Amino acid sequence: MEFRHLKYFVTVAEELHFSRAAEKLYLTQPALSKQIRALEEELQVKLFDRAKQKIKLTQAGEAFLETARRILEEVERGVENTRRVARKEVGQLKVGFTASALHSVLPEIIGKFRQIYPEVELILTEICTEDQVEALQNYRIDVGFLHPPIRDKSKSLSLHLLREDSILLAIPASHPLADREEIAIESLANEPIILYPRQKGPVLYEQFLQLCEKAGFFPNIVQEVEMTQTRLGLVAAGMGISFIISSVQNLSNKGVVYRPLVEELPKLQLAIAWRSDDFSPVMREFILYFF
């Protein structure tokens, strides 16, 4: 049985008229009648009762019509799915991101990508930069939104810079330092400091320590907390002073004020990273469309 036979049969069954069906199929009536007879012979059943000017489906023909329609629909879905694959509109993309990406570029990027490629399954995971590098190298994620510079000894990753953010101090609103417009680093010499964990963000951590060392003191680090909201909650509770990225200062946190340092810390970069040898259609489309 050929696929075209099913299409011919369904068209005749819907028109119940060989001439009209032949016209829709761009066939001659004799040629269409011959194809339907060939189908009946192959099935060894009579699909139509033929009269001089009128035809109708037999009981077997009505049953076969449901089957034929279902097969045609499945084939159409398969063809469309194949075309979507060719257009890179289906697949899966595993995305890692930092908190700063979530509060800056990520929502817009993901929103646009979902509109254009709704069939692509997006799996998003919030993880720190160091863990993203490892996850990319071990194929656990396909793309990462992270903070360079990164430790990539194998040189297997590609980076594209997206933005730079300033570093601000997060201070309890009731703290005396909250009245100042800018704060010098030496003012933190005797203050409890809440930092992002060293192993999760070693570059920024080391930069802060060097800044304190130049000012002549070693910081009193009382806690290391990864989640930005948790750090801000501790600041609001008066547990200490922390650092945040300027892109997240609009988070609603009563009892916290944000102030710049007099001594400007290096800006924190946000970049997108991916494996240089990843030529999967979905990944290529994601990178090429946005960047």
Let me know if domain 91-164+270-290 sits in CATH 3.20.20.70: no
In this chain, the answer to whether the domains covering 91-164+270-290 and 167-266 adopt an identical fold is yes
pLDDT value, residue 252: 63
pLDDT value, residue 99: 84
| Ranges of each domain in the chain | 3-86, 91-164+270-290, 167-266
**H and E: helices and strands count for the chain:** 10, 12
pLDDT value, residue 234: 95
The CATH topology of domain 3-86 is Arc Repressor Mutant, subunit A (1.10.10)
Residues 6+ apart with CB under 8 A from 267: 164, 165, 166, 167
pLDDT value, residue 87: 61
| Second-level CATH architecture of 167-266 | 3-Layer(aba) Sandwich (3.40)
Cβ neighbour number for residue 206 with a 10 Å cutoff:
11
Weakly modelled stretches of the chain, pLDDT under 70: 52-53, 80-81, 83-90, 251-252, 289-291
Quote the CA–CA distance of 84 and 82 in Å, as a whole number: 5
